[in-house]
Amino acid sequence: MRLWLAGLLSPPWSTFSPDRSRTVAIRTYPLIGMPSWIPLHLHVAICCGNIVFDFVPDEATSPLTLAQLLSGSAVTARIRQRPRGSLDRWRVLGETSRTQCDLATWAAEYPAQLSLLDNNCWTFASALVCFALEERDGHGAAAPSRPEQ
């Protein structure tokens, strides 16, 4: 896993300033339906489109989904793209030259199966950040940017 993921929970936290229009940042949140003191879910904010990306199961609060995930099975999932709200306590990772269209196209091609073992919100966030920061070309030139379907 990338070094930036390992240091995610350590200070200092960065905040966005209005002049940082190409910023890429991450933040943990609680899993859907879980207590707020368990921030295990990872979101990625890309400021070029003022959007936040995350990867969640289609039926995130279903007991069946939980059972399938805990048994090692994959479940259908979707990438949410939402307008960004407050960006307090986000960790800024860098700047992107990718366009909103580039990012939306990349997200649309991402596998729609979520598994706790090999394709989860953290692996999604890692791949998206690497693509946004151009550490990978989106087609696996430096390393696979997406899990195989």
Instruction: Count CB neighbours of 139 within 10 A.
Output: 12
pLDDT at position 22 is 78
Query: Quick one: what percent of the chain has pLDDT higher than 90?
Result: 34
**CA 128 to chain CA centroid, nearest Å:** 6
pLDDT in tens, 132-144: 998 755 544 543 4
Strand partners, 53: 44, 81
Q: Mark the ranges of the chain whose per-residue pLDDT is less than 50.
A: 1-19, 139-140, 142-145
pLDDT at position 149 is 52
